[in-house]
Amino acid sequence: MQNETPSSELTSAGPADFRPGIVPGPGKHKAGTLLDKYGRRITYIRLSITDRCDFRCTYCMAENMSFLPRREVMSLEECLRVAEVFVGLGVTKLRVTGGEPLVRKDAMWLIERLGALPGLENLVLTTNGSQLERFAVPLRAAGVKRINISLDSLNPERFRKITRIGELSKVLQGIQAARDAGFARTKLNAVMMRGVNDDEFVDLVRFAIDHELDISFIEEMPLGEIQGRRNTYISSEETRELLAGHFELLPSTENSGGPARYWRTPGSESRIGFISPHSHNFCDTCNRVRITAKGELYPCLGQNDAVNLLPILRADNDNAGVRQSIVDSMGIKPYGHDFTRQMDAPQVVRFMSMTGG
């Protein structure tokens, strides 16, 4: 591999063949875009706009979560500045997430401005669906292209157990609202948990097909201190075999720009996907970084290295320092994660609600 980035703005070269930073071009990668030391272009950010949520999903949060004080959370203006800097560095896709993004007061103020950012081609959102009845129409008007909605169970009591406080009917109304607002390719996300929802995978796929939705099954990740994960973990392969007994599954080369691998079933437009951080590690093609609600830039979901952008944002009005820190962060993006080693004693102490899914 050739070294493409002999730029003055770069951090020191990593052990791999590429020098991390910005691509000066011309070369294999587009000039001006972010490049890590393994030659991966970073064109996608996941921006968490709150650590708070109106649910307490058992795999995502502890029962008694304490949330961040307001001053430690990025203001919506700061979120917008971070997004603007990333877009200026060639990022074309941004996922708004959380916590539950739609419980953040004035979330629409930010989303409308993100939707109007020149160069941002793909604004998408991950939500638990509870607030979609209210927000689906304004989200679409703001330019959100696609929505992912978490749905682990179609049984109201079980749904309540998994989310601790969530109401299934609100989420189902939210899904309908997204369809009515004209969102296409809305995707359900279901975390696979043995003995919790594994008897519903077939029903969840049928629901997706009947409602013209895509669906992804997610292998549970060991984020935050939650006991008993080893007992509930199910691999994508096991679920795919189970589903193959009920649906004809044709492998698809389609890609939604994320880590899911997809299958199709004849007679339906729905895609059935698997996000497999354990069994089919997607690090090779990783094109994204995450920003927490606290303004920390995590180059990898499964590692603890981060750059704290918040003090830089607050000290710097013209964004130059923020831009340089983002460029420098390319030097600490690791090759990948290893979630499988210790399911009950996670190496990553952050909850997913903190990092942003």
**Which residues make up the interface to ligand SAM (CB under 6 A)?**
53, 59-60, 97-98, 100, 126-128, 150, 189, 191, 218, 220-221, 223, 352-353, 357
Instruction: Choose the one of ligand SF4, ligand SAM, none that binds residue 61, judging by a C-beta under 5 to 8 angstroms depending on kind.
Output: ligand SF4
CA 165, CA 176: separation in Å to the nearest integer?
21
Question: In terms of DSSP bridges, do strands 93-97 and 44-48 run parallel, antiparallel, or are they unpaired?
Answer: parallel
Tokens matching residue 266: 């004849």
Q: Which is nearer to ligand SF4, 142 or 352 (CB)?
A: 352
Instruction: Choose the one of ligand SF4, ligand SAM, none that binds residue 218, judging by a C-beta under 5 to 8 angstroms depending on kind.
Output: ligand SAM
Taking a C-beta distance cutoff of 8 angstroms, is the pair 218, 190 a contact? yes
Least distance in angstroms from the C-beta of 226 to ligand SAM: 7
277 upstream amide cis, omega within 30 of 0: no
102 scored as a contact of ligand SF4 (CB under 6 A) = no
Number of residues located near ligand SF4, criterion CB under 6 A: 13
356 scored as a contact of ligand SF4 (CB under 6 A) = no
**Residue 182 exposed, middle or buried by CB count within 10 Å (0-12, 13-18, 19+):** exposed
Taking a C-beta distance cutoff of 8 angstroms, is the pair 336, 281 a contact? yes
113 scored as a contact of ligand SF4 (CB under 6 A) = no
Q: Which is nearer to ligand SF4, 287 or 353 (CB)?
A: 353
**What residue ranges in the chain does DSSP mark as E strands?**
21-22, 34-35, 41-42, 44-48, 93-97, 122-127, 146-150, 187-192, 214-219, 250-252, 261-264, 271-275, 288-291, 296-298, 307-308
Q: Which is nearer to ligand SAM, 127 or 325 (CB)?
A: 127
Taking a C-beta distance cutoff of 8 angstroms, is the pair 215, 188 a contact? yes
Burial 285-315 (b: 16+ CB within 10 A, else e): ebbbbbbbbbbbbbbbbbbeebbebbebbee
Rounded to the nearest 5°, which phi and psi values hold at 321? Answer: -65, -35
Q: Which is nearer to ligand SAM, 22 or 286 (CB)?
A: 286
**Segment interacting with ligand SF4, rule: CB under 6 A, options 9-17, 49-57, 87-95, 216-224:** 49-57
> One-letter amino acid identity for 78?
E
Least distance in angstroms from the C-beta of 291 to ligand SF4: 15
**Segment interacting with ligand SF4, rule: CB under 6 A, options 56-64, 136-144, 240-248, 251-259:** 56-64
Q: Which is nearer to ligand SAM, 6 or 156 (CB)?
A: 156
Least distance in angstroms from the C-beta of 357 to ligand SAM: 2
Residue from the set 34, 45, 49, 61 that interacts with ligand SF4 by CB under 6 A: 61
Instruction: Choose the one of ligand SF4, ligand SAM, none that binds residue 56, judging by a C-beta under 5 to 8 angstroms depending on kind.
Output: ligand SF4
Least distance in angstroms from the C-beta of 352 to ligand SAM: 3
Q: Which is nearer to ligand SAM, 29 or 290 (CB)?
A: 290
Taking a C-beta distance cutoff of 8 angstroms, is the pair 23, 30 a contact? yes
**Segment interacting with ligand SF4, rule: CB under 6 A, options 2-10, 98-106, 208-216, 335-343:** 98-106
